[in-house]
Amino acid sequence: MEGEFEGYGGRHVPEPLEEPLAQLAAAYEEVVPSEEFQEEFQYYLKHYGGRPTPVFYAETLSERWGADIYFKHEDLLHGGAHKLNNTLGQALLAKKAGKERLIAETGAGQHGTATAMVGALLDIPVKVYMGRKDIERQEMNVFRMRLLGAEVEEVTRGNEKLAEAVDAALEDFAENMDDTHYLVGSAVGPDPFPRMVREFQSVIGREAREQVQELHGDLPDACVACVGGGSNAIGLFHAFKDDDVMFYGAEPGGTDDQHHSAPLAKSELDEPEIFQGAKTQVIDDDTENHSVSAGLDYPAVGPEHAALQELGRAEYHAITDEEALDAFKEMSRAEGIIPALEPSHAIALAKKLAEEDRHDTLLVNLCGRGDKDMQTAAEKFDLS
Amino acid sequence: MSLEASFADEPAFVPYLAAGDPDYESSLAYVEALARGGADAIELGLPFSEPIAEGSTIQEAIVRALEAGMTVDRYFEFVADLDVDVPLVCMTYYNLIYQYGDEQGPRPFVRKAAEVGLSGFVVPDLPAEEAGPLRDACDEFGLDLVFIVAPTTEGERLERMREQVSGYVYVQARLGTTGARDEVSDYTERSLARIEDWDVPKAVGFGIKSGDHAERIVSAGADGIIVGSALVDIVAEGHENDDATEEVAQRLEDKARELKQGALRGAGDRPRVE
């Protein structure tokens, strides 16, 4: 069945959501491959988003760690992260499907901001659901979304975080399916979202695959990316799926075994659970969902990553808050690039792989820039 | 008594409450009050920490119940402790059903459900095309499997439900999620028409909050009514105001009686078929 990955994924939703999702899947299959859609999508990616983003050879880190390290510069995409690839693709699809309204969930506010950007660009009203606790701790992104013209709806139920924001958005979607598109932010949730988000993000890997060969003369030995829901990672990996290139996902290991968001690397792997509409792996019940990076602070993982791990195609490793912060600083000092805390997990994992001599050439997805994390950095590194 | 038999002589009133909301003991009293008020079957929610697309009323009930310590094992105790003589239907999410027990799949959960005396299941996030294993387990242990038909359910999904449904079919009368509404939806008649020739009773839910609503829905052809949010609201209000359990139970019993009487009036309004 479409949307299933080795028994993971699928569409496990209440009946009122079945029809809008089936319609979305049909629209996706019909519209996205069309020349007209692709032309428009590529146009905006290039002229609005700034694609292609370059691949950068990190000389200092390569020498220091003993392996060739290449970074895919997704932090240079408009908005400062890879999120725009997906929001642009889905918003254009929504427009073609006759939808007049976009809704989105957001945790840290990055996806909400990228949705607000395309809403302004394409003149589609946007409503973003955000938990009360996230609104409190990510005020700057709330301001950005409002400045861009989006309505930010505070979600006060349950734990008042990302999971409840998803739920509120799904409810809105069920009630307003006729004119509304639910723009999901990662490769998670019920079909068709995981395969659709992968499709829109796979431009990352397609570009990088050529660029690395140009610079390096060959394919990399491995690709490394951080994994929360896992959209930037699947976007990088997908183009290399038939190559002899190993995949590594850096999951947020948090502070200890009871506080992390690393379902693949750290939790007991048993039968998949059904979480937010898909079969996937979820952190254990006795674990508190935690990461220093808000963008990875998610208790489950995109279903395709669970499948890639089960197949042995990809390995997932936990990187602690501390290791990520160290990588954040090392990258800034060595290469003059301030990465977001999310890809700092990938950088830390690349360092380990290089120092353990696992591979000679590593391609790392630098999926976002670190401006948003300066407050955390200032406290941690005593910058004020 | 079987689920289907609850609908046999007169329109059935099927209330919903989340088990353990706001605490174990009060919740027992509330469910028993509904039975006294005239419930013909009861949908008893087993709280799941990650419900999808539940209205905030039900969502908050689930949070209260979980915070008060409700778990799958406590739920089974709860059912065993209940002193009611109407069929009980377990309403929950599939994750809890298929994660339960040592053996893979839904069988251990269904076996345990049968042991404690449950009569059937409603599983909102289980697509009919994936319901095979649960249907088989229900057949093995003699339980019913209820499906929810939404206004948008058509074609193959509708057909698959028809093949597997037993007990009754839960007809969702309005787009959207559970929440007490002031108006009874136009969708009712249309939804009923689509499943007219199904050979199970048709119970209509979502948005019913008064005896008048109940009457109109039954007179439009429903074999029964399902009421959740309007009852959960009473529990929530009692909890917020710190009202005595007996008082809240009395309000629930009165509301149940109003709804049941409304349904009975609706049956009287219906044109007689000779």
- Lowest mean per-residue pLDDT among A1-15, A202-216, A238-252, B223-237: A1-15
CA distance B147 to chain A (A): 9
- Is the confidence at residue A126, as pLDDT, over 70? yes
Percent of chain B at pLDDT > 70 equals 93
Query: Which H/E stretch holds residue A223?
Result: strand A222-226
CA distance A247 to chain B (A): 29
pLDDT at B177: 46
**Which residues on A lie below 8 Å from B130 (Cβ)?**
10, 12
CA distance B100 to chain A (A): 11
Catalytic residues of B: 43, 54
**Which residues on A lie below 8 Å from B164 (Cβ)?**
none
A158 contacts B59? CB cut-off 8 A: yes
What does the pLDDT average to over A307-326?
Answer: 97
- Is the confidence at residue B131, as pLDDT, over 80? yes
Task: Single out the residue of B44, B41, B8, B15 nearest to residue B226, CA to CA.
Answer: B15
Backbone dihedral angles phi then psi of residue B168, each to the nearest 5 degrees: -160, 165
Cross-sheet strand order for the sheet of A101-106: A151-155, A126-131, A101-106, A180-182
- Is the confidence at residue A269, as pLDDT, over 80? no
**Which residues on A lie below 8 Å from B172 (Cβ)?**
15-16
Task: Count CB pairs under 8 A between chains A and B.
Answer: 90
Say how far apart CA A359 and CA A337 lie, in whole Å: 23
pLDDT at B182: 41
A271 contacts B127? CB cut-off 8 A: no
Which of A16, A170, A171 lies closest to B152 in CB terms? A16
Closest residue, chain A, to B55 (C-alpha): A171
Model confidence pLDDT, tens digit, residues B19-52: 999 999 999 999 999 999 999 999 999 999 888 8
Closest residue, chain B, to A14 (C-alpha): B125
pLDDT at A331: 98
Which of A16, A18, A274 lies closest to B95 in CB terms? A274
More confident residue, A310 or A286: A310
- Is the confidence at residue A369, as pLDDT, over 50? yes
What does the pLDDT average to over A201-216?
Answer: 98
pLDDT at A305: 98
pLDDT at B272: 54
Q: Would you place residue B6 in the very low, low, confident or very high pLDDT band (cuts 50, 70, 90)?
A: very high
Which of B98, B148, B177 lies closest to A171 in CB terms? B177
**Which residues on B lie below 8 Å from A155 (Cβ)?**
none
A18 contacts B52? CB cut-off 8 A: no
State whether the Cα torsion B177-B179-B182-B187 is positive or negative. Answer: positive
Please tell me if residue B172 touches chain A, with a CB cutoff of 8 Å: yes
B52 contacts A13? CB cut-off 8 A: yes
pLDDT at B187: 65
- Is the confidence at residue B176, as pLDDT, over 60? no
Report helix angle B56-67 to B229-240, nearest 10: 50
CB under 8 Å to A213, separation ≥6 — which residues?
A219
Interface of A with B (CB under 8 A): 10-20, 157-158, 163, 167, 170-171, 174-175, 177, 271, 273-277
Please tell me if residue B130 touches chain A, with a CB cutoff of 8 Å: yes
Closest residue, chain A, to B54 (C-alpha): A171
Q: Would you place residue A200 in the very low, low, confident or very high pLDDT band (cuts 50, 70, 90)?
A: very high
ipTM of the modeled complex: 0.83
CA distance A383 to chain B (A): 40
Which of B127, B150, B175 lies closest to A11 in CB terms? B127
Closest residue, chain A, to B179 (C-alpha): A171
pLDDT at B269: 75
For residues A353 and A222, the answer to whether their CB atoms sit within 8 Å is: yes
CA distance B70 to chain A (A): 14
Tell me the average pLDDT of chain B: 91
Which of B53, B60, B93 lies closest to A167 in CB terms? B53
- Lowest mean per-residue pLDDT among A85-99, A160-174, A182-196, B113-127: A160-174
What does the pLDDT average to over A281-285?
Answer: 89
Q: Would you place residue B1 in the very low, low, confident or very high pLDDT band (cuts 50, 70, 90)?
A: low
Say how far apart CA B227 and CA A250 lie, in whole Å: 47
pLDDT at A1: 62
Domains of chain B: 10-268 (3.20.20.70)
B51 contacts A167? CB cut-off 8 A: yes
- Is the confidence at residue B198, as pLDDT, over 60? yes
Model confidence pLDDT, tens digit, residues B58-68: 989 999 999 99
pLDDT at A215: 97
Tell me the average pLDDT of chain A: 94
pLDDT at A167: 85
Say what the pTM is: 0.91
More confident residue, A260 or B177: A260
Closest residue, chain A, to B177 (C-alpha): A171
Say how far apart CA A338 and CA B198 lie, in whole Å: 63
Q: Would you place residue A302 in the very low, low, confident or very high pLDDT band (cuts 50, 70, 90)?
A: very high
What is the SS3 string spanning chain B? Answer: CCCHHHHCCCCEEEEEEECCCCCHHHHHHHHHHHHHCCCCCEEEECCCCCCCCCCHHHHHHHHHHHHCCCCHHHHHHHHHHCCCCCCEEEECCHHHHHHCCCCCCCHHHHHHHHHHCCCEEECCCCCHHHCHHHHHHHHHHCCEEEEEECCCCCHHHHHHHHHHCCCCEEEECCCCCCCCCCCCCCHHHHHHHHCCCCCCCEEEECCCCCHHHHHHHHHCCCCEEEECHHHHHHHHHHHHCCCCHHHHHHHHHHHHHHHHHHHHHHHHHCCCCC
B60 contacts A14? CB cut-off 8 A: no
Q: Would you place residue A306 in the very low, low, confident or very high pLDDT band (cuts 50, 70, 90)?
A: very high
Which of B50, B98, B125 lies closest to A13 in CB terms? B125
Whether the upstream peptide bond of residue A192 has omega within 30° of 0, thus cis, is yes
- Is the confidence at residue A346, as pLDDT, over 90? yes
- Is the confidence at residue A274, as pLDDT, over 60? yes
Q: Would you place residue A218 in the very low, low, confident or very high pLDDT band (cuts 50, 70, 90)?
A: very high
pLDDT at B178: 45
Closest residue, chain A, to B94 (C-alpha): A274
Which of B60, B95, B125 lies closest to A14 in CB terms? B125
What is the SS3 string spanning A296-333? Answer: HCCCECCHHHHHHHHHCCEEEEEEEHHHHHHHHHHHHH
Q: Would you place residue B207 in the very low, low, confident or very high pLDDT band (cuts 50, 70, 90)?
A: confident
**Which residues on A lie below 8 Å from B63 (Cβ)?**
157-158
pLDDT at B173: 73
CA distance A166 to chain B (A): 9
